[in-house]
Amino acid sequence: MDFDNPLQKQLPWRWQEGDLTVTRSNAWSGPGCHEGCGVLIYTDKEGKMVKVEGDPENPFNQGRLCVRCLALPEVTYHPDRLLYPQKRVGERGEDKWERVSWEEAYDTIVTKFNAYKAEFGPQSVVFNQGTGRDVTWANGRLCYGFGSPNSSDFQSGMACYLPRLSSLYATTGSFLVADCSQHFPDRYDEPSWTRPECIVIWGCNPIISNADGFLGHWIVDCMKLGSKLIVIDPRLTWLAAKADIWLQIRPGTDAAMALAWLDVIINEKLYDEDFVEMWTLGFDELAGRVAEYPVEKMAEITWVPQEKIEAAARLYATSKPAAIQWGLAIDMTKESLPAGQAITALWSITGNVDIPGGMVTVALPYGADIWGGDWGYSHLSPEAKAVRIGLDKYPLLQWGLPLAQADEIVEAMLTDDPYPIKAIWLVGSNALACMGADPEKLMKALNRMEFVVNIDLFKTPTAVACADLLLPVLTYPEKNGLRAVWYHIGNINKAIEPVGEGKSDAQLAIELGHIFNPDLVPWETVEEYFDAVLEGTEMTFEEMRDAGAVLYTDFEYKKYEKGYERGDGELGFNTPSGRIELYSTAYERSGLDPLPYFEEPTESPFSTPEMYEEYPIVLTSGARHWASFHSEHRQIHRLRAMRPDPIVEIHPETAAKYGVGEGDWIWIENHRGRVQRKVQLTTILDPRVINADHGWWYPEKEPAAPSLYGMWDVNFNKLIPWDPGRSGFGANYKSLLCKIYKVNQGEEAQSWLP
Ligand SMILES: Nc1nc2c(c(=O)[nH]1)N[C@H]1C(S)=C(S)[C@@H](COP(=O)(O)OP(=O)(O)OC[C@H]3O[C@@H](n4cnc5c(=O)[nH]c(N)nc54)[C@H](O)[C@@H]3O)O[C@H]1N2
Ligand SMILES: Nc1nc2c(c(=O)[nH]1)N[C@H]1C(S)=C(S)[C@@H](COP(=O)(O)OP(=O)(O)OC[C@H]3O[C@@H](n4cnc5c(=O)[nH]c(N)nc54)[C@H](O)[C@@H]3O)O[C@H]1N2
Ligand SMILES: [Mo]
């Protein structure tokens, strides 16, 4: 490695500051996070972690760190951490457990999984996980190593990120993100980079969520450099308050908004004719479709005035370059794929593709890819691949990541159709309290399983309700790991001894994978696997750590003009036509509409006006807050103090109309059920819309059923059905109807206050 090259930084990885030892590392998970921020972990003479700080030398976060990493010592040393493997001894839900050795745990898993494999086929074991943490790649390897094609999550419509990813792969053949200079170690000083003239923040709040490997503060950096902002959000977020234009959209209508922008841009000829001509397929068909969605009509649908939509579309299309940072709200409508497709069309027809300050296709330095490409899926037998759940109903699943479809998995668990599912490996997911729709249905499905293994840092309502074996895992300072995802490579360096007998998720997957399939998982230790991933760097994991290396790669723009996008070296994009497919041949072949469209949420003022009379409030959910990552961190006092209760945000006019005030506990009810929230009055919302927290449970309440940590009264997802979009992707987690009324005195879901 040439450390004189500025792309390959060499820094000390461990040093002494007075009585404290400092270990340089990269944060990933656990606890949950999508990022890989550079951190400095401080330990005392006894080897105890005393604090964590942002690493100023790491180009990714440049010293910044969020409150959840600052609170990390409290997470790692929390008395409720799972410390050793445990097996269930009472009934499910009784919360009775007995400590077992790792040997016994592994024996049980191997014996049972192999027995199901022999009798029902490897597909009868499903490997399930929560959002992308430092478990995803390991889970995939273990699943395909075992021989099952069924790796999935428990989210209806897999409505997080995967709709956007699938839509991008299908129409562009690659993955693009807003270019905030993140591919360069010198960041904003990099001469080949240009700041976006305009950034559109669409259905996300990156300042808080820092989702999908994108750090929200990069937006603030660009704003300081002069980037203009357009924010599309039903709530006046911090960024929206600073934007040039804020479009206060009705939840669930993002496809209509994108089609309206396309209407303005195409009618006013604000698109990039050369790029459209050279690099896209189906512009005329797109224009024909867009004409069905005139901006004046879309203004009524989205509840945003026509002039505002037009002004935003013009500002976006005339700003060169322009970037769009999109988020979860795009995924969380049932017809999310066409919404993603319409937004992709926006940056494509304006020529903002793989240019400085536009949307860039991501690069993996030195080919180092922790995911191992398809996680080993390609090694499965044709017979195994053919029975991946959901593939027959949703042929689009052939494109992009090789996942099984979540709603269909739950159906199969309940019905044995198309075949019996016997066991679930459930890693990094509190599915009943957070990820799953209709948690009662999910609980039934899980409790039909003969064997559920749950792998977590803490015991959750899901574990108590459904698990047979609990395996403890590690927080990031307790383990070695590798952050080799996009942009740069960095080590996750072990800084402290594990507090219990936990193993890292990677260790579990490699050790068990090796037992199940030494051909696909030839490595015996995690470090050996990392060495293999790092082959292209010509360093081993240890050498890289000792060199204190942070590795970037030469980043090139306009890769499609250089033959770098496609495997075959031809120019263009990795699609059948070699172009960005505005008219998608992949969708067409999958029996889907090849062009973008808007469909109302299943329940809305327009799709179900009668229901809107009974449930007269539009309900969105889950806008992130600082204090927790999903259902995590509720037991961490200094974080819980920031958000002690599950909140619903309501406009004061609406609150007055229903006779509720600040701090009142209310029921939010629809025809599926009701759930409690505490009222926070705010004018950031349209009076017709309210927003509720997701992922609540009370670690301080009774674990045993029926309480399950007091989960049922506050479990928002009782209001959400399992109901995916036509493609198998997308579900209405953020666009429902409801009514609200006060909780009777004494029946509040109130818990302790820190
Ligand atoms: N602190 C923290 N960070 C997290 C997480 C966490 O739980 N806590 N979760 C992580 C995960 S898995 C994810 S997927 C990401 C998600 O993070 P983001 O993609 O940023 O999404 P959200 O925070 O859910 O919502 C962002 C905004 O969408 C708005 N919104 C709601 N409905 C709509 C709509 O219909 N249309 C539009 N345009 N906007 C709408 C909300 O008002 C909110 O301001 O965050 C990740 N980061
Ligand atoms: N109503 C509504 N519901 C939503 C959302 C919404 O916006 N609205 N957002 C949805 C989204 S986008 C997502 S992605 C899902 C998220 O759903 P999940 O990813 O299932 O999140 P959690 O419920 O917090 O469960 C994560 C569990 O993993 C454990 N954990 C953390 N780090 C690690 C680790 O490194 N290894 C292991 N083995 N375990 C770890 C935590 O302790 C926790 O118990 O929730 C969804 N639910
Ligand atoms: Mo997510």
Query: In the structure, what pLDDT confidence band is assigned to residue 486 with cuts at 50, 70 and 90?
Result: confident
590 or 547: whose pLDDT is higher? Answer: 590
Task: For residue 550, list its beta bridge partners.
Answer: 9
State which ligand 2 atom lies nearest to the alpha carbon of 130. 19
Q: Which CATH number fits domain 609-720+724-742: 3.30.70.260, 2.40.30.10, 2.40.40.20, 3.90.1150.10?
A: 2.40.40.20
The closest residue, in CA terms, to atom 40 on ligand 2 is 428
State residue 76's pLDDT score: 98
The closest residue, in CA terms, to atom 37 on ligand 1 is 203
Q: What is the pLDDT of residues 495-534, one digit of tens each?
A: 999 999 999 999 999 999 999 999 989 999 999 999 999 9
**Encoding tokens for residue 230?**
């357009």
Task: For residue 49, list its beta bridge partners.
Answer: 43
CA dihedral 287, 293, 299, 303 (to 10 degrees): -120
Q: What is the pLDDT of residues 598-645, one digit of tens each?
A: 999 999 999 999 999 999 999 999 999 999 999 999 999 999 999 999
Please tell me the number of the ligand nearest to residue 329's CA: 1
Is the Cβ–Cβ distance between 212 and 265 less than 8 Å? no
Query: In the structure, what pLDDT confidence band is assigned to residue 750 with cuts at 50, 70 and 90?
Result: confident
Question: Any idea which residue has 């660009």 for tokens?
Answer: 222
Whether 535 has a pLDDT exceeding 80, the answer reads: yes
Q: Which CATH number fits domain 86-158+381-477+499-524: 3.30.1490.270, 3.40.1010.10, 3.40.50.740, 3.20.20.450?
A: 3.40.50.740
State which ligand 1 atom lies nearest to the alpha carbon of 233. 39
State residue 583's pLDDT score: 98
State which ligand 1 atom lies nearest to the alpha carbon of 630. 7
The closest residue, in CA terms, to atom 44 on ligand 2 is 430
The residue extents of the domains of the chain are 86-158+381-477+499-524, 175-362+569-589, 609-720+724-742
Question: Any idea which residue has 């397929």 for tokens?
Answer: 281
Q: What is the pLDDT of residues 279-296, one digit of tens each?
A: 999 999 999 999 999 999
Sign of the C-alpha dihedral computed for residues 593, 595, 600 and 606 taken in this order: negative
State which ligand 2 atom lies nearest to the alpha carbon of 160. 12
State which ligand 1 atom lies nearest to the alpha carbon of 232. 38
Q: Is the CB of 211 under 6 A from ligand 1?
A: yes
**Encoding tokens for residue 286?**
């797109």
State residue 273's pLDDT score: 98
State which ligand 2 atom lies nearest to the alpha carbon of 455. 38
- Residue 652 gets the label, from left (phi > 0), alpha (psi -120 to 50) or beta, of alpha
Q: Is the CB of 130 under 6 A from ligand 1?
A: no
Q: Is the CB of 622 under 6 A from ligand 1?
A: yes
State residue 734's pLDDT score: 97
Q: What is the mean pLDDT of residues 653-681?
A: 98
* 50 CA from centroid of ligand 3 (Å): 30
Task: For residue 647, list its beta bridge partners.
Answer: 678
- Secondary structure (3-state) at 525: coil
* 633 CA from centroid of ligand 1 (Å): 17
State residue 700's pLDDT score: 95
The closest residue, in CA terms, to atom 12 on ligand 2 is 160
Residues with Cβ within 6 A of ligand 2?
A: 29-32, 130-131, 133-135, 155, 160, 328, 427-431, 433-435, 455-458, 460, 473, 505, 621-622, 630-632, 694-695, 716-717, 733
Whether 594 has a pLDDT exceeding 60, the answer reads: yes
* 203 CA from centroid of ligand 3 (Å): 13
Q: What is the pLDDT of residues 572-588, one digit of tens each?
A: 999 999 999 999 999 99
Task: Determine what percent of the chain is predicted with pLDDT higher than 70.
Answer: 99
* 35 CA from centroid of ligand 3 (Å): 13
State residue 374's pLDDT score: 81
Pocket test for ligand 2, best of 331, 462, 631, 714 (most atoms within 8 A of CB): 631
The closest residue, in CA terms, to atom 32 on ligand 2 is 30
Q: What is the DSSP letter of 249?
A: P
State residue 31's pLDDT score: 97
Q: What b-and-e string marks burial along 124-158, b requiring 16 or more CB atoms within 10 Å of the CB?
A: bbbbbbbbbbbbbbbbbbbbbbbbbbbbbbbbbbb
Q: Is the CB of 329 under 6 A from ligand 1?
A: yes
The closest residue, in CA terms, to atom 22 on ligand 1 is 623
Q: How many Å apart are CA 269 and CA 468, to the nearest integer?
A: 61
Q: How many Å apart are CA 642 and CA 561, to the nearest integer?
A: 49
Q: What is the pLDDT of residues 101-137, one digit of tens each?
A: 999 999 999 999 999 999 999 999 999 999 999 998 8
C-alpha closest to that of 265 among 191, 345, 174, 339 = 345
State which ligand 2 atom lies nearest to the alpha carbon of 632. 24
Nearest-5° angle of CA 352, CA 358, CA 364?
Answer: 115
Q: How many Å apart are CA 325 and CA 370, to the nearest integer?
A: 24
- Residue 521 gets the label, from left (phi > 0), alpha (psi -120 to 50) or beta, of beta
Q: What is the mean pLDDT of residues 400-409?
A: 92
State residue 368's pLDDT score: 85
Which is it for strands 689-692 and 647-650: parallel, antiparallel or unpaired? antiparallel
Question: Any idea which residue has 């559109």 for tokens?
Answer: 200
Is the Cβ–Cβ distance between 459 and 703 less than 8 Å? yes
State residue 3's pLDDT score: 67
The closest residue, in CA terms, to atom 24 on ligand 1 is 623
Q: What is the mean pLDDT of residues 160-177?
A: 93
Q: What is the model's pTM? A: 0.97
Q: What is the pLDDT of residues 330-386, one digit of tens each?
A: 999 999 999 999 999 999 999 999 999 999 998 788 888 888 778 889 889 999 999
What's the mean per-residue pLDDT of the chain?
95
Q: What is the mean pLDDT of residues 473-477?
A: 98
Please state which CATH class domain 175-362+569-589 belongs to: alpha beta
Q: What is the pLDDT of residues 184-228, one digit of tens each?
A: 999 999 999 999 999 999 999 999 999 999 999 999 999 999 999
The closest residue, in CA terms, to atom 28 on ligand 2 is 428
State residue 192's pLDDT score: 96
C-alpha closest to that of 293 among 597, 587, 725, 584 = 597
The closest residue, in CA terms, to atom 14 on ligand 2 is 131
The order of strands in the sheet holding 245-247 is: 245-247, 228-232, 198-202, 322-326
The closest residue, in CA terms, to atom 6 on ligand 2 is 622
* 625 CA from centroid of ligand 1 (Å): 9
Sign of the C-alpha dihedral computed for residues 162, 166, 169 and 172 taken in this order: negative
Query: In the structure, what pLDDT confidence band is assigned to residue 424 with cuts at 50, 70 and 90?
Result: very high
Please tell me the number of the ligand nearest to residue 454's CA: 2
Whether 301 has a pLDDT exceeding 80, the answer reads: yes
State residue 1's pLDDT score: 65
Q: Please give the C-alpha separations between residue 385 and each of 144, 151, 237, in angstroms, as whole numbers.
A: 10, 11, 44
Please tell me the number of the ligand nearest to residue 634's CA: 2
**Encoding tokens for residue 282?**
């189906």
The closest residue, in CA terms, to atom 8 on ligand 1 is 629
C-alpha closest to that of 279 among 354, 390, 188 = 354
Q: How many Å apart are CA 148 and CA 513, to the nearest integer?
A: 12
Please tell me the number of the ligand nearest to residue 135's CA: 2
The closest residue, in CA terms, to atom 20 on ligand 2 is 429
Residue 357: is it exposed, middle or buried by C-beta count within 10 angstroms (0-12/13-18/19+)?
buried
Nearest-5° angle of CA 458, CA 138, CA 389?
Answer: 95
Q: What is the mean pLDDT of residues 719-733?
A: 98
State which ligand 2 atom lies nearest to the alpha carbon of 433. 23
Is the Cβ–Cβ distance between 503 and 102 less than 8 Å? yes
* 33 CA from centroid of ligand 1 (Å): 13
Q: What is the DSSP letter of 138?
A: H
State which ligand 1 atom lies nearest to the alpha carbon of 234. 42
- Secondary structure (3-state) at 443: helix
Task: Determine what percent of the chain is predicted with pLDDT higher than 90.
Answer: 90
Is the Cβ–Cβ distance between 51 and 73 less than 8 Å? yes
* 134 CA from centroid of ligand 2 (Å): 12
Query: In the structure, what pLDDT confidence band is assigned to residue 147 with cuts at 50, 70 and 90?
Result: very high
* 332 CA from centroid of ligand 1 (Å): 10
Q: Please give the C-alpha separations between residue 509 and each of 301, 421, 426, 502, in angstroms, as whole numbers.
A: 48, 21, 12, 13
Please tell me the number of the ligand nearest to residue 689's CA: 1
C-alpha closest to that of 639 among 530, 732, 492, 754 = 754
The closest residue, in CA terms, to atom 15 on ligand 1 is 211
* 631 CA from centroid of ligand 2 (Å): 6
Q: Is the CB of 428 under 6 A from ligand 1?
A: no
* 185 CA from centroid of ligand 1 (Å): 28
Query: In the structure, what pLDDT confidence band is assigned to residue 485 with cuts at 50, 70 and 90?
Result: confident
Is the Cβ–Cβ distance between 419 and 387 less than 8 Å? yes
Is the Cβ–Cβ distance between 597 and 255 less than 8 Å? yes
